Structures are given as structure tokens and as C-alpha cells.
């Protein structure tokens, strides 16, 4: 299909897929020493499986938070408060916001997606709860500032750095990942309404 016939959503998906591929490469290099050995299930991922780079990033954030909770002093207290603040938020993200992102490259290549309704429902959940997600990010940011201050004052720079990284992670979610998930849902809905445009995102 010619470039002029692509829908705006399809064009955005292609750009997002390119950005995602670059971020996966960087994250995979950074996380290589922590990654699990390949398994049969990884060779044949589920249709809506969270991308490996994002899954690893979330796992490492959990590990760093656990380490901060063992740091002692006000740093540990702040880390425990942060964990209570973000636990439900992270779980909801991992259930709804992240799995559809595994479809980005396939959609940009014009592939058909079996069971698209599940991804549409996930994306719709993100869209409907976007304002609440942002409010929760504000609460998490406040807890992160408390953690960073405590870690800095107690000379625990690795935990202050973790707070900074998690803050950037939240910004990345708001600016890139949440919008990408919502666009995936809209694109799949559009494809269902216009079956003959299923290859509109193909390069």
C-alpha cells in the first residue's frame, strides 16, 4: 500500500515501533547480564505478552526497591512507603498497559492479530483510567522525592539514583507507553471497522 493511503494512526504506530525497537536494543544490552536463559515459551510468545525489555525493566525496579527497603534508616522507611504507594499501580500497569505493546512491531508490519478484542479491551482500560494513572504517578513522585532526599542525606547514592531512574520511568510511561497502548487499541478498532485496510501500517 502506498504511503499516501496510510492512516494517521498507522503512521504513528510505525514511528512508535521504530522508537520501541531502539529502546529494546538499549535495554537488552543494559540488562543482558540479568536476563533469564531462553525457553520454549519465549521462542513462541503469547500474542499480548509484555515486551521483554519492559518486563526486565519492571523486574529490576522491583529489585532495586527491595534493596532500598533493606538499606536501613530513613532510606528504608521511605522505600517501604514507596512500595505501598506503587504496588497496586505497577500491578495494574503490568496487567493492562504493557501487554499490548508487544503488538507494535507486528502491527507496523501489517500482520493480522488473532483475538484483537483482548488488546482493545486492555487499551480501553488504560484510556478510561489515564487521569487516575497520572494522579498515581504524582503520588509516586512525591514518595520518590522523599526517598531521594533520605538516601542523599544518609550517603546512599545508589538509592537516590534509583529514585531518579524510577521518576524518569514514570515520565516515559506517560509520554510514550500509555499513548502507544491507546493508539494500538484505536488502530485495532479501526482495522475491525475497515477489514480491507488491514495492511495500512505495512512499510
Distance CA 18, CA 195 (A): 25
Cβ atoms of residues 111 and 13 within 8 Å = no
Q: What is the pLDDT of residues 4-37, one digit of tens each?
A: 445 656 555 655 554 554 444 444 444 444 444 3
Residue 66: band (very low, low, confident or very high) from pLDDT cuts 50, 70, 90: very high
**Average pLDDT of the residues in 178-184:** 96
Sign of CA pseudo-dihedral 190, 195, 198, 201: negative
Cβ atoms of residues 199 and 110 within 8 Å = yes
The helix/strand count (H/E) of the chain reads as 9, 0
Distance CA 149, CA 115 (A): 47
Cβ atoms of residues 100 and 46 within 8 Å = no
**Average pLDDT of the residues in 84-100:** 95
Q: What is the pLDDT of residues 122-149, one digit of tens each?
A: 999 999 999 999 999 999 999 999 999 9
Cβ atoms of residues 136 and 178 within 8 Å = no
Cβ atoms of residues 99 and 50 within 8 Å = yes
Residue 16 C-beta-side C-alpha neighbours within 13 Å: 28
pLDDT for position 168: 95
* Torsion of Cα atoms, 114 then 117 then 118 then 120, to 10°: 120
The mean pLDDT value of the chain amounts to 81
pLDDT for position 17: 55
pLDDT for position 16: 58
Secondary structure class of 175 (helix, strand, coil): helix
Angle at 157 between CA 155 and CA 163, to 5 degrees: 125
pLDDT at 187 exceeding the cut of 80: yes
Amino acid at each position: 500500500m502506498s504511503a499516501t493511503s496510510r492512516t494517521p494512526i498507522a503512521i504513528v504506530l510505525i514511528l512508535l515501533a521504530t522508537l520501541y525497537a531502539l529502546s529494546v536494543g538499549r535495554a537488552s544490552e543494559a540488562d543482558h547480564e540479568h536476563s533469564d536463559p531462553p525457553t520454549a515459551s519465549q521462542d513462541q510468545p503469547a500474542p499480548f505478552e509484555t515486551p521483554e525489555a519492559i518486563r526486565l525493566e519492571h523486574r529490576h525496579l522491583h529489585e532495586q526497591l527491595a534493596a532500598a527497603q533493606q538499606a536501613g534508616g530513613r532510606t528504608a522507611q521511605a522505600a517501604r512507603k514507596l512500595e505501598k504507594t506503587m504496588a497496586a499501580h505497577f500491578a495494574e500497569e503490568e496487567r493492562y498497559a504493557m501487554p499490548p505493546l508487544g503488538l507494535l512491531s507486528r502491527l507496523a508490519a501489517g500482520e493480522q492479530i488473532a483475538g484483537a478484542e483482548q488488546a482493545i479491551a486492555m487499551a480501553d482500560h488504560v484510556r478510561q483510567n489515564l487521569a487516575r494513572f497520572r494522579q498515581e504517578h504524582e503520588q509516586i513522585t512525591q514518595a520518590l522525592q522523599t526517598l531521594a532526599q533520605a538516601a542523599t542525606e544518609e550517603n546512599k547514592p545508589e538509592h537516590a539514583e534509583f529514585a531518579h531512574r524510577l521518576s524518569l520511568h514514570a515520565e516515559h510511561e506517560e509520554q510514550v507507553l500509555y499513548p502507544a497502548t491507546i493508539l494500538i487499541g484505536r488502530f485495532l478498532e479501526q482495522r475491525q471497522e475497515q477489514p480491507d485496510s488491514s495492511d495500512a501500517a505495512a512499510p
